[in-house]
């Protein structure tokens, strides 16, 4: 007799937008309904399910689909606009039969960004995605279409990076930092998920309320490959889905005015290397960009190890681009506030926009999407026989490949089929990289759930 599977409760609903996405063309609706390999329906369904299961403790992108195998979402063309029809949707997204409004808003953000990228960026080809300028213009247009670029606003957007799987004391610390930022009138942008992405927003909401501050921004920027593993947290009031990790990273540094890094794992290391690789470029030498690495006292050893790895791989000069502050949320917030003043002055002097950092030089190597196949990972140039910003670009790719092997569906399939990625390079860098990754595993910074099996093998030449 077949064993009965108990699936969680579901609900059906039809919802309308509150603004920001009122109409779509017939062609756009048809593409969103197209379930063929060239259609957008499966992408829409996957991202929508991630939004509807906000708060999930699994970072396996396949888990939600296994729990809700019959879930479906359809975009309906109506006489007065569009509606979303949800079938067998997770009941956790509803209260007394009505969908939670923040969830509904995020669902329409998913539709908006998927169709805009598919039509304006990819099909129409308005931007040359083989050139640095074209990619930056595409990032700008996606952010503008999502209405997160606000003119006549002083520089005040702090990007917070960090792990989705962090210890409780680290999470509480992110809330304290967010609270101090909020008291100083600063808005928050994160990767939109749980852990260090949720904590700063949660702290800031209390501070903003105490200051009687309205129009607060809690921006979450994600991408389709990772949204299922890091579902948007409920505080996000501006969700943006970029088409790939490279455009997501560029969106952070173009829209943000300063960055705080909390403890995390390989994804956080990837973000650090991305930004430092850009700041190491000679064209960005005089550009103010406050960068603070911070955490509770229990995370001091973590940041010491990150600092040692960065200095060994990229030279001691890299340390001038960041400041490490341990167990002092007030000092972190004050450092960001002072940094905003310098950013404002520089933007005025250079006649650059407050809402988008056009002056920042980002090389094509940091912008082109990296597809982490086994051959691509084995072919990375992780040696010192190149400028430091170029080495940082390939180190960033190495961490990006490990993220893919950990939590992205395509990467996980590749590891299951072909075994761990092989990573080779300079012996000193490889030994330091291996030690860093082993520390991440020991501290359970790689996964939120399940026993971790490494998706990589680090080797030094001759070993």
Give the separation between CA 426 and CA 413, rounded to whole angstroms: 29
Which stretches within 228-318 are classed as H helix?
Answer: 245-255, 266-279, 300-314
* % of the chain surpassing 90 pLDDT: 73
Q: Which of 12-26, 148-162, 367-381 has the lowest mean pLDDT?
A: 12-26
- Tell me: the pLDDT tens digits for 346-363? 999 999 999 999 999 999
Q: Bigger pLDDT: 414 or 226?
A: 414
Statement to judge: residues 159 and 92 lie in one domain: no
pLDDT at 78: 76
Do residues 268 and 394 share a domain? no
- Structural domain of residue 96, as residue ranges? 10-126
106 and 47 within one domain: yes
* Residue keyed to tokens 């926009």: 353
| Residue 432, pLDDT score | 92
Same domain, 287 and 193: yes
Mean pLDDT of the chain: 91
Confirm whether 449 is domain-assigned.
yes
Mean pLDDT of 188-216: 96
pLDDT band at 461 (very low <50, low <70, confident <90, very high): low
Confidence band for 366, pLDDT divided at 50, 70 and 90 = very high
Tell me if 286 sits within 8 A of 187, measured CB to CB. Answer: no
Q: How confident is the model at residue 341 (pLDDT cuts 50, 70, 90)?
A: very high
6-9 long-range contacts, CB within 8 A, separation 24+: 7/67, 7/68, 7/69, 8/67, 8/68, 8/90, 8/91, 8/92, 9/91
**79 vs 133, residue with greater confidence:** 133
- Residue 145 belongs to a domain: no
117-121, 295-299, 371-375, 420-424: least confident range: 117-121
Measured in residues, the chain has a length of 463
Going edge to edge, which strands form the sheet with 157-161?
Answer: 238-241, 218-222, 187-190, 157-161, 258-261, 291-295, 323-326
**DSSP SS3 for 267:** helix
pTM of the entire predicted model: 0.92
- Using the 3D structure, point to which of 332, 364, 396 is the last residue of a domain: 364
> Based on the domain organization, do 71 and 157 belong to the same domain?
no
pLDDT digits (tens, 9 = 90+) for 249-276: 999 999 999 999 999 988 999 999 999 9
Q: What percent of the chain has pLDDT over 70?
A: 94
Answer yes or no: are the C-beta atoms of 369 and 246 closer than 8 Å.
Answer: yes
Same domain, 351 and 444: no
Question: Is 139 domain-assigned?
Answer: no
Domain count, the chain: 3
Considering the domain boundaries, does residue 4 fall inside one?
A: no
Residue 344 lies in a domain: yes
Q: What is the pLDDT of residue 407?
A: 81
In this structure, are residues 271 and 249 in contact, taking their beta carbons and an 8 Å threshold? Answer: yes
Supply the pLDDT for residue 1: 43
What is the separation of C-alpha 417 from the centre of its chain, rounded to a whole number of angstroms?
27
pLDDT at residue 2 is higher than 50: no
**Is-contact 372 401, C-beta < 8 A?**
yes
Q: What's the start-to-end Cα distance of the chain, in Å?
A: 54
Last residue within a domain, chosen from 126, 142, 162:
126
Question: Cβ distance 322 to 240 under 8 Å?
Answer: no
Give the pLDDT confidence of 32-79 residue by residue, as tens digits.
Answer: 998 886 789 999 999 999 999 986 666 666 777 888 999 999 999 876
Label residues 312-326 b or e (16+ Cβ within 10 Å = b): bbbeeebeebbeebb
- Residues 271-293: tens digit of each pLDDT: 999 999 999 999 998 999 999 99
Is the pLDDT at 145 greater than 50, yes or no? yes
Dihedrals φ, ψ of 456, to 5°? -145, 160
Tell me if 144 is assigned to some domain. no
The confidence band for 447, taking pLDDT boundaries of 50, 70 and 90, is low
Residue 450 pLDDT greater than 70, yes or no: no
What's the CA gap between 422 and 456, in Å, rounded? 6
CATH number of the domain at 16, please: 3.30.1850.10
Q: Same domain for 415 and 318?
A: no
The pair of three-digit structure tokens given for residue 190, joined into one six-digit string:
């994160």
- 134 in a domain, yes or no? no
Residue 463 has pLDDT above 60, yes or no: no
């Amino acid at each position: 007799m077949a064993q009965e599977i108990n699936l969680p409760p579901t609900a059906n609903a039809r919802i309308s937008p509150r603004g920001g996405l009122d109409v779509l063309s017939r062609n756009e609706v048809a593409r969103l309904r197209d379930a063929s390999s060239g259609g957008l329906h499966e992408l829409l369904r996957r991202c929508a399910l991630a939004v509807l299961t906000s708060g999930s403790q699994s970072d396996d992108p396949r888990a939600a689909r296994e729990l809700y195998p019959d879930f479906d979402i359809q975009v309906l063309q109506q006489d007065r606009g569009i509606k979303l029809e949800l079938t067998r949707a997770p009941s956790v997204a509803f209260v007394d039969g009505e969908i939670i409004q923040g969830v509904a808003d995020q669902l329409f953000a998913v539709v908006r960004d998927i169709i805009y990228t598919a039509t304006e960026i990819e099909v129409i080809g308005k931007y040359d995605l083989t050139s640095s300028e074209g990619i930056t213009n595409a990032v700008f247009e996606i952010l503008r279409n999502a209405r997160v670029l606000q003119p006549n606003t002083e520089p005040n957007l702090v990007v917070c990076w960090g792990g989705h799987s962090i210890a409780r004391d680290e999470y509480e610390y992110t809330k304290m930092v967010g609270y101090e930022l909020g008291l100083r009138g600063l808005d928050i942008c994160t990767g939109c998920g749980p852990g260090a992405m949720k904590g700063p927003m949660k702290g800031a909401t209390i501070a903003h309320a105490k200051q009687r501050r309205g129009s607060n921004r809690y921006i979450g920027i994600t991408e389709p490959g990772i949204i299922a593993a890091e579902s948007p947290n409920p505080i996000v009031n501006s969700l943006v889905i970029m088409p790939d990790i490279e455009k997501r990273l560029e969106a952070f540094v173009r829209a943000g005015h300063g960055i705080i890094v909390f403890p995390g794992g390989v994804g956080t290391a990837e973000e650090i290397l991305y930004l430092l690789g850009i700041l190491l470029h000679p064209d960005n030498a005089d550009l103010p960009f406050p960068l603070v690495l911070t955490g509770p006292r229990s995370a001091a050893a973590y940041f010491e190890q990150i600092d040692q790895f960065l200095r060994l791989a990229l030279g001691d000069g890299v340390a001038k681009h960041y400041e490490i502050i341990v167990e002092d949320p007030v000092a972190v917030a004050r450092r960001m506030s002072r940094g905003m003043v310098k950013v404002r002055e520089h933007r005025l002097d250079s006649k650059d926009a407050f809402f988008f950092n056009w002056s920042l030089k980002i090389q094509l190597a940091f912008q082109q999407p990296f597809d982490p196949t086994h051959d691509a990972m084995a072919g990375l140039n992780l040696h010192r026989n190149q400028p430091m910003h170029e080495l940082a670009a390939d180190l960033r790719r190495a961490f990006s490949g490990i993220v893919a092997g950990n939590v992205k569906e395509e990467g996980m399939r590749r590891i299951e089929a072909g075994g761990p990625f092989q990573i080779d390079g300079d012996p000193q860098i490889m030994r330091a990289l291996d030690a860093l990754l082993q520390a991440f595993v020991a501290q359970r910074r790689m996964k939120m759930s399940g026993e971790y099996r490494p998706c990589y093998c680090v080797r030094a030449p001759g070993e």
